[in-house]
Amino acid sequence: MPDVIISLVQVIENKFCTASDDGEKVYSRIVEAIKGGDKVQISFEGVEDLTSAFLNAAVGQLYGEFPEDKLRSVLLPPLEASPEDLALLKRVVDRAKAFFQDPERFKRAAREESGNAN
């Protein structure tokens, strides 16, 4: 059972979950809940549109704040999420995990690909 249900639409007061600054508002709520010792369930009820930019801010950056196993234990399966919402969230989470495991890897890959390798 969750201690806290965080509704995306209610937090940002908007059914368009598309802007990263709105994602930041959700992020702040989730961080506050986790630091308060709560288990969190994110609700997608009422979401009309959803972007990776929003989810990167809302959820992706959690992986820079908390260890992966901590998040696995406190973030419960999302509520009212369509299959497409879940698929996008999964991609964002997987990318965030890879990013924070080795942020320098992304920079190195960029340098190598551009031919600017050191």
Among 36, 46, 64, 67, binds another protein (CB under 8 A): 64
- Position 108 contacts another protein (CB under 8 A): no
Q: Which is nearer to another protein, 6 or 92 (CB)?
A: 92
Report, in Å, the least distance between residue 111 CB and another protein: 6
CA distance 113 to 118: 12
- Beta-carbon neighbour count of residue 77 at 10 Å? 9
Judged by CB under 8 A, which of 5, 9, 31, 88 binds another protein?
88
Query: How many residues sit in the footprint of another protein (CB under 8 A)?
Result: 48
Among 9, 16, 25, 39, binds another protein (CB under 8 A): 16
Q: Does 14 interact with another protein (rule: CB under 8 A)?
A: yes
With contact defined as beta carbons under 8 Å apart, do 85 and 47 qualify? yes
Among candidates 60, 8, 73, which has minimal Cα distance to 34?
73
Site residues (CB under 8 A) for another protein, limited to 44-63: 49-53, 56-57, 60-61, 63
Pairing of strands 40-43, 49-50: unpaired
* Residue 31 binding another protein, by CB under 8 A: no
What residues have CB less than 8 Å from 111, skipping those under 6 apart? 117, 118
